[in-house]
Structure 1
Amino acid sequence: MRRALAVLAAVPLLLFAAACGSDDGASTGASASASAGASAKFKVTGTVGAKPTVAFPSGTPATKSSYEVIQPGAGTGVKAGDRVIVNLTVWNWDGKGNAVQGSSYDTKAPETIAVNEQLPQVLQEGFTKVKHGGRLLAVLANDSVAPQQTTQPAEPTKVFVIDVVGTQPPALKAATGKETGDSIKGVKVDNPGGEKAPTLTTKTDEKAPKDLVVKTVIKGTGAKVQANQTLSVHYTGKIWGTDKQFDSSWERGQPAEFALGQVIQGWQKGLAGLPVGSRVVMSIPPALGYGDQAQQAIPAKSTLVFVVDILGAY
């Protein structure tokens, strides 16, 4: 699961399309031609670190995507694979009102973007041409939408001004911190140490708790998880009382990544506010899980038990 940036809710296809758009129009400076997106004819005013204003070129909106480095920045360079923290402002370029669609400067909440193949090609390249403290202008036309998405109604050409604030540290490999000795009565968690997966045992005669129970097994020292963030986690899930496992990211060998606001309420309520680096065990009652609906290996009205390592929050 990938979190759509809140400020760009109106244009998720353009920002998160698979990287298959043409980069023929990409530019790195004021020499960009009008046919390559007319980025050279934009006038961006305002200092980096404050909400910018943009004067649009006359004529019809560009049909090819492009980028222009407005300020290169003087900090650490951005490279492919980084998760860059940015402030961004987006406009609809319709050749009429060219209305602003949103800005993280207004919400006072910088966003995090993964510089990977999920981004349109012009953004993949453009980000690597700026450093921390830099400013990038990007024109995203419909040539940056994946072919399988071309059946959707065409979006207006978008113009982004993106200020690079910094880079998120890479996610942890496993929980790190001090063991607390806490657990849930009837549930056992064995911590082998290092990057090895913990062992979760839920075979018990104890009655399942009626309410959500969250216990910290290892207390991390990172920033606290916010409800609107995307998390990187390792986890194992079992059914209370049966020791029946229904899922494990550790067994798949790959951490899971998801928007916290898009998963079951037990996870939302249980993980928000906990520090990154923590290992927690959660007992989730049916009302905060899947309720009366069976889910593949999960029977209806099941109490779910998870052991979760919080590896990163973005």
Structure 2
Amino acid sequence: MRRAMAAMAAVPLIFSAAACGSDSGAGGAAQTQQQAGVKVTGNVGAKPTVTFPSGTPASKSSYEVLSAGTGPAVKAGDKLIVNLTVYDWDGKQNPFQGSTYDNKQPETIPVDEQLPQVLRDGFTKVKHGGRLLAVLAADASQQQAQQSQQPAPPTKVFVLDVVGAPPTPLKAATGKDTGDTLKGVKVDSPGGDKAPTLTTKTKDKPAKELVVKTLIEGTGKKVEAGNTLTVHYTGKIWGTDKEFDSSWGKGEPASFPLGNVIQGWQKGLVGVPIGSRVVMSIPPDLGYGAQEQQNIPANSTLVFVVDVLAAY
């Protein structure tokens, strides 16, 4: 469902690629200051300005706490809402790769074993409202590069502002059953946090425009265009009952910036209250169009049943 567009879409992959990184520990701050020489200016909560020293990029990963923050301390296992700014440090142009301050869509980052060790160490030295500088050098991705027989990626520089923690999502839709339906589509809701059953095998023709029906109307705040959502969903193809994706089937809800998914979701979910269950029929021009996707033929009308569990 994600679209590969802005440079920031690759940030979680950058984290994963460096997951075998070094442990800079408490010495990270001094090392960044003395060896890396990267300087960051600007206030926490706004896009930073980053300047680089001349010469060869740092070869060892490190971190520096630029502002400790005043909120709750970050612990291993936490999920964080983070504004981040990323550069490639090549020692020449040092190209800017992206910033969530530009697209106004902070990332949700789990402080777990999927993160490079240097980032896990750095995050646990700051509090909510803090700012961290992290340099991910060749040592952070060397093992994966060797395993894949690919050259190591360039040294990355991250400036990470910890905004806070995401809200605890609901387990399932909760609210008033509206009795509404979508012609040609059947949704059976067993109640509780059990997954609904979506049936899309029908001889009815799909609508040419987006259709959104609220099956359960939640009582939470309404989804806004710039939100990050946590949802449970199942997606099928109109007329075939072929399922191509399901978070319920994977055993855990999905979280993503609403701006990073297909237009049908962006248009269909704005204004939906948290706690709602909706069913959406999405025409090809608001889905994947004439572009065939994995398990989705070209020009397919997509049908989703979605529980909106959190939005922030």
Place the TM-score, normalised by the shorter chain, in its bin: 0.7 to 0.9
Report whether the alignment pairs 1:127 with 2:123.
yes
Query: Displacement, 1:107?
Result: 4.9
Amino acid across the alignment from 2:83: N
Report whether the alignment pairs 1:21 with 2:21.
yes
Aligned length: 309
Q: Per-residue CA shift, 1:152-188, capped at 9, x if unaligned?
A: 4444322222221211123332123333322212433
Aligned to 1:47: 43
CA distance in 2, matches of 1:82, 1:248: 25
Query: Displacement, 1:312?
Result: 3.9
Match of 1:86 among 77, 82, 91: 82
CA distance in 1, matches of 2:110, 2:173: 22
CA distance in 1, matches of 2:81, 2:4: 15
Per the alignment, do residues 27 and 198 of structure 1 end up closer, same or farther by CA in structure 2, a change over 3 Å counting?
Answer: same
Query: Displacement, 1:135?
Result: 1.5
Per the alignment, do residues 222 and 128 of structure 1 end up closer, same or farther by CA in structure 2, a change over 3 Å counting?
Answer: farther
Cα RMSD between the aligned structures? Answer: 3.9
Q: Per-residue CA shift, 1:177-206, capped at 9, x if unaligned?
A: 333322212433333332122233445564
Per the alignment, do residues 169 and 6 of structure 1 end up closer, same or farther by CA in structure 2, a change over 3 Å counting?
Answer: farther
CA distance in 1, matches of 2:285, 2:4: 27
Amino acid across the alignment from 2:223: K
CA distance in 2, matches of 1:109, 1:290: 23
Per the alignment, do residues 194 and 295 of structure 1 end up closer, same or farther by CA in structure 2, a change over 3 Å counting?
Answer: same
Q: TM-score, normalised by structure 1?
A: 0.76
| Secondary structure at 1:32 match in 2 | helix
Mean CA deviation greater in 166-175 or 80-89: 80-89
Per the alignment, do residues 180 and 21 of structure 1 end up closer, same or farther by CA in structure 2, a change over 3 Å counting?
Answer: same
Report whether the alignment pairs 1:117 with 2:116.
no
CA distance in 1, matches of 2:22, 2:235: 42
Amino acid across the alignment from 1:224: V
Contact kept? 1:17, 1:146, Cα under 8 Å: no
| Secondary structure at 1:38 match in 2 | helix
Percent of aligned pairs with the same amino acid: 70
Q: Per-residue CA shift, 1:39-67, capped at 9, x if unaligned?
A: 5x555444333444455456532111111
Taking the TM superposition and a 5 Å limit, the aligned residue runs for 1:1-314 are 6=6, 8=8, 13-17=13-17, 19-23=19-23, 25-27=24-26, 30-32=29-31, 38-39=35-36, 41-54=37-50, 56=52, 59-96=55-92, 98=94, 100-145=96-141, 147-149=143-145, 151-202=149-200, 206-220=204-218, 221-226=220-225, 231-240=229-238, 247-257=245-255, 265-285=263-283, 288=286, 303-313=301-311
Mean CA deviation greater in 94-103 or 65-74: 94-103
Mean CA deviation greater in 292-301 or 46-55: 292-301
CA distance in 2, matches of 1:13, 1:242: 34
Mean CA deviation greater in 152-161 or 241-250: 241-250
Unaligned runs of 5+ in 1: none
CA distance in 1, matches of 2:260, 2:96: 27
More helix by share: 2
CA distance in 1, matches of 2:167, 2:8: 23
Per the alignment, do residues 5 and 149 of structure 1 end up closer, same or farther by CA in structure 2, a change over 3 Å counting?
Answer: farther
Amino acid across the alignment from 1:32: Q
Query: Displacement, 1:121?
Result: 1.7
| Secondary structure at 2:31 match in 1 | coil
Mean CA deviation greater in 250-259 or 182-191: 250-259
CA distance in 1, matches of 2:8, 2:294: 34
Amino acid across the alignment from 1:38: Q
Amino acid across the alignment from 1:145: S
Mean CA deviation greater in 292-301 or 189-198: 292-301
Amino acid across the alignment from 2:35: A
Q: TM-score, normalised by structure 2?
A: 0.77
